[in-house]
Amino acid sequence: MNVPVSFRVSALFCVLFCPRMAKLQAVFSLRHMLVMSLALNVGLIMRMFPDSDETLANDAVEAGVNSKRETHVVQKSTTLSGVNSTSADRPGRRERVINLDHGDPTMYEGYWRQMGEKTTITIPGWQSLSYISDMTNVCWFLVPEFAEEVVRLHQVVGNAVTEDRHIVVGTGSSQLILAALYALSSPDAAEPISVVSAAPYYSSYPSMVDYQKSRLYKWAGDAESFNKDGPYIELVTSPNNPDGLLRRSVVNRSQGLLIHDLAYYWPQYTPITSPSDHDLSLFTVSKSTGHAGMRIGWALVKDRKVAEKMTRFIELNTIGVSKDSQLRAAKVLKAVSDGCQQGESSFFKHSYKLMAGRWKLLRATVEYGGLFSLPQFCPSFCTFFGQETEPQPAFLWLRCEGEIEDCEGFLRKHKIISRGGKHFGGSPKLTRISMLDTQETFLDFIERLSNIQQIK
């Protein structure tokens, strides 16, 4: 089921899908709703983590979630003036190009710096010379320590079933998508198998599928309008990139083969409602822990033959995957699992707060202005946090309201680089903006948005 998006300039809670809120909207004015929702939200977030330690409190200040800072930020936002005094001191910030085109997860750097030596890895020069990691494994280049930590993390977070699954490691999940297409297609088929995904879909899918001009598979566009008989592959991204919504397959025919891209199914982005349990799921450290430079992704694969074919693809493509990065990823995943099991200051809690702070600031900035609108989400019970949380996606899927037809172009005039809706098979009235950049860039972005609305 592909849930449609509401972009109405309304309160924080999703009016369309939370019926109890729909009545309220009729009673209160826009401004009332805004003030009330902001207040509610501050309280909600502060209550959620009542016993934050000092480190987390510092993070909160940084993210604009601390109550004192919060008041300050909200006041500033509601007057549409500057947001951040540090930001205001930097020369040239008003003229700088703010590039939020890529989902570069530099936001997480602060946390990993705070962790100090915990995830530092030392690799001696004589280590990892061989191509081979474990010839007894279907995926012979999979480093066992990494595989162990993948299983453990999924168990700790509760976001994926790992029993009776083969793990295939990839150079990022991009390589695994291609490996999965190769594994699910047949070299003897009369024609290439159709590959579809419901719009708005990840903007790289069409190029990734078609750049090699393969006779094994071909891009066939929006899954919603796909009506061809015969076998097909559907890419199901959940939460979805760019809009953050949860997804299920939409074609739903007997000959469908599904690839679940679950890069964002982590507690900082969305409530973990149950362990995912699919034939073929993909994950990546780029978005789970923020280590995009490692280029490490993994697939959980039910069918041994599919795992073997994926392994064969990677063998022919890159003869395996960097052992250095697998070892480093193992250390990072271990630290994340340890943190979750040992105490309060877990990576996901910290990241959830960061994202919550950003989304709140964003809503406070945008929803008052009327020039833009944001997607609305319903909270759900998160089994990881043990309470209700709200989706706070890694990307903002922003809609320009009124007469602005090209939202990407409009922002570009104001030196904000985003990725326009048409790249995602969607409307140019929408554009995708990364929420994962550095704090400095994010605050500059908020200030720029604020200024744009002031100008208008």
CA distance 276 to 170: 20
β partners of residue 263: none
* Residue burial 261-275, b: 16+ Cβ < 10 Å; e: rest: bbbbbbbbbbbbeeb
* Residue burial 6-15, b: 16+ Cβ < 10 Å; e: rest: ebebbbbbbb
Of 449, 452, 403, the closest CA to residue 428 belongs to 403
Judged by CB under 8 A, does residue 174 bind a copy of itself? yes
The secondary structure of residue 426, as a DSSP letter, is: S
Taking the CB of residue 453, how many other CB atoms lie within 10 A of it?
A: 16
Q: How many residues does the chain have?
A: 456
92: which 2 tokens?
């040239």
When binding is defined by CB under 8 A, the residue of 142, 168, 306, 332 that contacts a copy of itself is 332
Least distance (Å) from a copy of itself to the CB of residue 112?
Answer: 4
Least distance (Å) from a copy of itself to the CB of residue 254?
Answer: 25
Pairing of strands 98-99, 416-417: parallel
The sign one gets for the Cα dihedral 205, 208, 213, 215 is: negative
Return the residues of window 183-202 that contact a copy of itself according to CB under 8 A. Answer: 187
Judged by CB under 8 A, does residue 215 bind a copy of itself? yes
Of 216, 217, 183, the closest CA to residue 197 belongs to 217
Nearer to a copy of itself, 172 or 271 (CB): 172
Least distance (Å) from a copy of itself to the CB of residue 39?
Answer: 34
Stretch that binds a copy of itself, among 7-15, 151-159, 208-216, 371-379 (CB under 8 A): 208-216
Judged by CB under 8 A, does residue 92 bind a copy of itself? no
Nearer to a copy of itself, 148 or 324 (CB): 324
Pairing of strands 232-237, 256-261: parallel
Return the residues of window 102-161 that contact a copy of itself according to CB under 8 A. Answer: 102, 104-106, 108-113, 115, 117-133
Q: What is the 3-state secondary structure (H, E, C) of 73-92?
A: HHHHHHCCCCCCHHHHHCCC
Residues 21-60 as x/- pattern, contact with a copy of itself by CB under 8 A: ----------------------------------------
Ordered strands of the 296-301 beta sheet? 166-171, 296-301, 280-284, 256-261, 232-237, 193-197, 217-222
Judged by CB under 8 A, does residue 286 bind a copy of itself? yes
When binding is defined by CB under 8 A, the residue of 7, 146, 182, 283 that contacts a copy of itself is 182
Nearer to a copy of itself, 27 or 132 (CB): 132
Q: Site size for a copy of itself, by CB under 8 A?
A: 68
CA distance 115 to 112: 5
The secondary structure of residue 106, as a DSSP letter, is: G
Least distance (Å) from a copy of itself to the CB of residue 138?
Answer: 18
Least distance (Å) from a copy of itself to the CB of residue 114?
Answer: 8
Judged by CB under 8 A, does residue 383 bind a copy of itself? no
Nearer to a copy of itself, 249 or 286 (CB): 286
Least distance (Å) from a copy of itself to the CB of residue 323?
Answer: 4
Nearer to a copy of itself, 23 or 213 (CB): 213
Least distance (Å) from a copy of itself to the CB of residue 209?
Answer: 10
Nearer to a copy of itself, 159 or 286 (CB): 286
Least distance (Å) from a copy of itself to the CB of residue 318?
Answer: 4
β partners of residue 231: none
Q: What is the largest CA-CA distance in the chain?
A: 70
Nearer to a copy of itself, 199 or 296 (CB): 296
Cα angle 22, 435, 33; round to 5: 25
Judged by CB under 8 A, does residue 337 bind a copy of itself? no
Least distance (Å) from a copy of itself to the CB of residue 347?
Answer: 11
Of 365, 118, 395, the closest CA to residue 240 belongs to 395
Judged by CB under 8 A, does residue 175 bind a copy of itself? yes
Nearer to a copy of itself, 42 or 259 (CB): 259
Binding site residues, a copy of itself, CB under 8 A: 102, 104-106, 108-113, 115, 117-133, 170-172, 174-175, 178, 182, 187, 204, 207-208, 211-216, 286, 290-296, 313, 316-325, 328, 331-332, 335
